[in-house]
Amino acid sequence: MRAYYYDNVPGDQRRSHDHLPSQPVSDETLTKLNIKYWTIPVEGHEEKINAIAAERGYKNRDNIHVSKEGMGDAYEDKLKIFFSEHMHEDEEIRYILEGQGFFDVRESPSDLWIRLAVEPGDLLVVPAGIYHRFTVDESNMIKAMRLFQDEPKWVPYNRSEETEHNPHRVGYLHDIGVAA
Task: Name the residues that contact ligand KMT, by CB under 6 A.
Answer: 64, 66, 82, 94, 101, 134, 142, 144, 146
> Whose CB is nearest to ligand KMT?
134
Residue 65 in marked binding region: no
Residue 161 in marked binding region: no
Residue 19 in marked binding region: no
Residue 92 in marked binding region: yes
Q: Mind giving me the DSSP string for the chain?
A: -EEEEB---SS-TTS--B-SS--B--HHHHHHTT-EEEE--STT-HHHHHHHHHHHT--EEEEEEESHHHHTTHHHHHHHHHTS-EE-SS-EEEEEEEE-EEEEEE-TTT--EEEEEE-TTEEEEE-TT--EEEEE-TT--EEEEEEESSS-----EE-SHHHHT-HHHHHHHHHTT---
Cβ distance to ligand KMT smaller for residue 22 or 56: 56
Query: What is the closest distance, in whole angstroms, from the C-beta atom of residue 93 to ligand KMT in the complex?
Result: 10
Query: What is the closest distance, in whole angstroms, from the C-beta atom of residue 92 to ligand KMT in the complex?
Result: 6
Query: What is the closest distance, in whole angstroms, from the C-beta atom of residue 121 to ligand KMT in the complex?
Result: 14
Residues of each annotated binding site for Ni(2+): 86, 88, 92, 132
Residues of each annotated binding site: 86, 88, 92, 132
